[in-house]
Amino acid sequence: MTSVLLICKKEFKSYFTGPIAYLLMAFFALIFGFGFYTATRDVVRFSLQAQMMGQQQPMNLNDQIIRPLLGFASTIALFLIPMITMRLIAEEKKTGTIELLLTSPVNDLAIIVGKWLGAMLLYLCILGMSVINIAMLFAWGKPDWKPVAVAYLGLILQGGCLLAIGTFISTTTKNQIIAGGVTFFVCLLLWLLSWFTAFDTGPFGQVIAYLSIITHFDNFAKGLLSTKDVVFYLSMIFFALFLTARSMESLRWRS
């Protein structure tokens, strides 16, 4: 357990010794901030128009701003996650420090979970950027906090899932660019799977839709906390980390 925390702390810190953490946070804050600006502007304009037309419809911040915005955040995350995970193990393989890790009295799982948690912490920091914008809505409006919390939980679970997949891909190569590229491709694929359901409602389409990581996020975005989705994400995380452990083991046999 101590070794998990050690590795997690080291990973997290090393993101911040280079520019990568700051770049990702800045990039996310910029895009999310722009989305926030457009969404808020449109809502304000729309409600002003509605008032001038004499309609007294109360604004619903949750439905009109927060929900689409956090859905947008989940899409941005798809692009950022490969950049977080690509170095995790590929870099250690390249520089040879993997020999240090694998000859230390630490089991493989502790290494993997430690690294994944380190990546997770950075991801949380990146998501933290969005809290600034959402906090503004709470300061000047009265949105319901519960669906917001559920949506954030969804973002965290979806991120954890993609990060675990990224960690797995990072064990398969010593080239960071390849690790990042393949992870990006897989993220994109999982995103596209959700479109599939729009055209295909047969059993096959249902299965594909179930596998899409994004479809499960939709419920969270709506503020619906269902066990089905939580279980899906958690089991995906476990499965990906399990694959990572197997891949690390095969590393020993093949290298």
Partner 1 sequence: MIKVEGLTKRYARTVAVDNISFEVEKGQIVGFLGPNGAGKTTTMRILTCFLPPSEGSANVAGFDVMANPLEVKKRIGYLPETPPVYPEMEVSEYLVYVGRLKGISSGEINGKVSDVVGKCALGEVRNKLIGQLSKGYRQRVGIAQAIIHNPAVLILDEPTSGLDPKQIIEIRELLRHLAGEHTIILSTHILSEVEHSCERVIIISRGKLVAIDSVANLTNRLRGSEAVAVEVQAVDGQPNAGDVQQRLEQVSGVSRVMAKESKDGGLLFEVESLQGRHIRADLARTVVNSGWNLNEMRSVGLSLEDIFLQLTSAEKPAESSAAQEGEKK
Footprint on this chain of partner 1 (rule: CB under 8 A): 2-3, 6-7, 10, 14, 17-18, 95-107, 252-253, 255
Interhelix angle for 213-222 vs 176-199, to 10°? 70
CB of 5 to partner 1, least distance (A): 10
Q: Are 85 and 179 in contact (CB under 8 A)?
A: yes
Least distance to partner 1, CB of residue 183, Å: 22
* Residue 7 · residue 104 · CB < 8 Å: no
From the CB of 248, what's the least distance to partner 1, in Å? 12
Distance (Å, rounded) from C-alpha 87 to C-alpha 91? 5
d(CA 178, CA 166): 11
Q: Which is nearer to partner 1, 6 or 48 (CB)?
A: 6
Rounded to whole angstroms, the Cα distance separating 247 from 62 reads 43
Q: Which of 116, 152 has the CB closer to partner 1? A: 116
Residue closer to partner 1 by CB (options 76, 111) is 111
Q: How far is the CB of 174 from partner 1 (least distance, A)?
A: 11
Residue number, 18 or 68, with CB nearest to partner 1: 18
Share in percent of the chain as helix, strand, coil (round to 5): 85, 0, 15
| Interior/surface letters 13-48, b for 16+ CB within 10 angstroms, e for the rest | eebeeeebbeebbebbbebbeebbeebbeebeeeee
Core vs surface per residue 121-156: b (16+ CB within 10 A) or e: bbbebbbebbeebbeebeeeeebeeebbebbbebbb
| Shortest spacing between CB 254 and partner 1, in angstroms | 8
Question: In the complex, what is the shortest distance from the CB of residue 216 to partner 1, in angstroms, rounded to a whole number?
Answer: 36
Q: How far is the CB of 8 from partner 1 (least distance, A)?
A: 12
Residue whose CB is less far from partner 1, 212 or 247: 247
**Residue nearer to partner 1 on the CB measure, 96 or 202:** 96
CB 223 within 8 A of CB 147: yes
**Residues near 138 by beta carbon (within 8 Å), at least 6 away in sequence:** 145
Q: Which is nearer to partner 1, 38 or 104 (CB)?
A: 104
